[in-house]
Amino acid sequence: MPASVHPLSAAAVAVDQPILVFDSGIGGLTVLREARVLIPERRFVYVADDAAFPYGGWAEADLRAHLVRLFGRLLREHAPLLCIVACNTAFTVAGAALRAAYPDMRFVGTVPAIKPAAERTRSGLVSVLATPGTVRREYTRGLIRSFAARCQVRLVGSPRLAALAEAYVRGENVPDDAIRAEIAPCFVETASARTDIVVLGCTHYPFLANVFRRLAPWPVDWLDPAEAIARRARSLVPRIEQALHPDAADEARLTAGPADFATRRLMNSFGLRVS
Ligand code: DGL
């Protein structure tokens, strides 16, 4: 059992250590939302690496090196209890490198929910909607080989959806046609079956789930892993009966520096102080 999966012992945990939730942008907020419900007694620091967004188009080795370097700084600055890497594109390329570089830190990762999709599908046709980086990864191909060998899995790498989700959440106008074009390849129809599950393989996409439902050519399950990730984090963090930080505002940090108005408003609407 790798060190990263051992639950933390209560004795080893300082009461004010935060949980760090990380993404390239706003996508990790979909995971933070669930994590706060399940771990209400802990302080959270949300880090958006907006200086490097989007991760989807980065070369693998460059992104891995960037993430290992960046986490070195984040771990020093925040001394977190646990890190939730709420980004498929980051974790599928750098999860192992992060665990190797920082063996004392617990990393909870995010990977496309291919296993639950394969267990749930009735038609056997499953699509994975993710960034171009995530669909290219050997990690993702390995998940399909290990857990979905009996399904027909279509990998759909969307070059634009993460940025469209960022715009949508900030209240900008995002035309339906732009979204329809990105999700269209997910819908596969054969003589006897059609896609019944689409895995949301990028944490930005749950923000668009209602739009996806409205624009889908037929109803499917859109699988969002946020709650499962939060449950995993909960299982590693010792329970503390009394809330330790009743008044403390959780905070957001942006690697690009001062947030613009829309970003600040968004982070504040999630109860995050932007520093
Ligand atoms: N939210 C990230 C993910 O889960 C990716 C967005 C990006 O391209 O940076 O994959």
Ligand 1 atom with the smallest distance to the CA of 23 is: 1
Q: What is 10-110+227-274's CATH topology? A: Rossmann fold (3.40.50)
The reply to whether 10-110+227-274 and 114-224 are identical in fold is yes
Which residues pair with residue 194 across a beta bridge?
A: 189
3-state helix, strand, coil in the chain (%, to 5): 45, 15, 35
Is the distance from CB of 258 to CB of 275 less than 8 angstroms? no
Separation CA 245–CA 40 (nearest Å):
9
87 as an active site residue: the answer is yes
Q: Which of 83, 151, 186, 202 is catalytic?
A: 202
202 as an active site residue: the answer is yes
Of 155, 161, 231, nearest to 202 by C-alpha is: 161
Integer angstrom CA distances of residue 157 from 136, 165, 175, 185: 8, 15, 20, 9
CATH class of 114-224: alpha beta
**Complete DSSP assignment for 106-141:** -EE-----HHHHHHH-SSSEEEEEE-HHHHH-HHHH
Separation CA 65–CA 32 (nearest Å):
25
Q: What's the 202 CA to ligand 1 centre distance in angstroms?
A: 5
- The single-letter code of the amino acid at 274 is V
Ligand 1 atom with the smallest distance to the CA of 28 is: 1
Domain ranges of the chain: 10-110+227-274, 114-224
Q: How many CB atoms lie within 10 A of CB 188?
A: 16
Ligand 1 atom with the smallest distance to the CA of 204 is: 1
Q: Which residues of 217-237 are buried (b: 16+ CB within 10 A; e: fewer)?
A: eeebebbbbbeebbebbbebb
SS3 (DSSP) at 151: coil
Separation CA 159–CA 123 (nearest Å):
27
- The single-letter code of the amino acid at 199 is V
Q: What's the 13 CA to ligand 1 centre distance in angstroms?
A: 30
Separation CA 79–CA 256 (nearest Å):
21
Separation CA 70–CA 86 (nearest Å):
15
Of 229, 184, 224, nearest to 35 by C-alpha is: 229
Q: Which pLDDT tens digits describe the chain residue by residue (275 residues)? A: 444 456 676 655 666 899 999 999 999 999 999 999 999 999 999 999 999 999 998 999 999 999 999 999 999 999 999 999 999 999 999 999 999 999 999 999 999 999 999 999 999 999 999 999 999 999 999 999 999 999 999 999 999 999 999 999 999 999 999 999 999 999 999 999 999 999 999 999 999 999 999 999 999 999 999 999 999 999 999 887 766 665 567 999 999 999 999 999 999 999 999 98
Separation CA 94–CA 76 (nearest Å):
19
| Environment class of 243 (CB within 10 Å of its CB; exposed 0-12, middle 13-18, buried 19+) | exposed
Determine whether the shortest distance from the Cβ of 24 to ligand 1 is under 6 A. Answer: yes
Q: What's the 207 CA to ligand 1 centre distance in angstroms?
A: 12
